[in-house]
Amino acid sequence: MSMYQAVMATPLGRIGIRMTGEAVSELDYLPADTPEQPPNDAATRTVVEQLKAYFHDPRYQFTVPLAPGGTAFQQRAWAVLQAIPPGTVLSYGELAQKLDTAARAIGGACRNNPIPILIPCHRVVGRQGLGGYTGTTTGDPLAIKRWLLRHEGVDVDR
């Protein structure tokens, strides 16, 4: 039995979807050779459909329920991330000001985000550059961040 309720192919590669009840609890970037797995229930099918809609139209607004596990601070930070519209970026410092905390704390919340894309941590950038993505500042995760931002119309070569 798979640990995911679905594995879908996307322009970014395979994404595994983990649910808690009818809410998304994790999205994982998986190796390219991971077999696709159709959704095993209606709630997961809705998540797959909404992700496909986003990959078709970057302005698509997700409505699926989310259930990320995290600290109270992380939950607050992730709620603020969800309010950043597609095609918009904020710096770690700007988000820190909104939450009366430090930029480093925002970076930690982004790094620990279990539901990337749906909780759009890719829309948070460094003051003088792209910043990190999924806890790294080099390699494939940054290619994913660049792709997502370009998909939403953000000039990532600023």
Position 158 scores a pLDDT of 52
pLDDT (average), residues 116-143 = 83
pLDDT (average), residues 35-54 = 97
Rounded Cα distance, 109 and 78, in Å: 7
CA-CA-CA-CA torsion sign (132, 81, 32, 59): negative
Q: Per-residue pLDDT tens for 11-26?
A: 999 999 999 999 999 9
Q: What Å distances lie between residue 118 and 1, 8, 99, 145, CA to CA?
A: 25, 15, 20, 13
Position 123 scores a pLDDT of 96
Q: Per-residue pLDDT tens for 61-73?
A: 999 999 999 999 9
Please identify every residue annotated as catalytic: 121
Q: Per-residue pLDDT tens for 86-115?
A: 999 999 999 999 999 999 999 999 999 999
Confidence check: pLDDT of 77 > 60: yes
CA-CA-CA-CA torsion sign (106, 14, 129, 85): negative
Position 138 scores a pLDDT of 55
Average pLDDT value for the chain: 92
Position 29 scores a pLDDT of 93
Confidence check: pLDDT of 27 > 70: yes
Question: Which has more confidence, 38 or 32?
Answer: 38
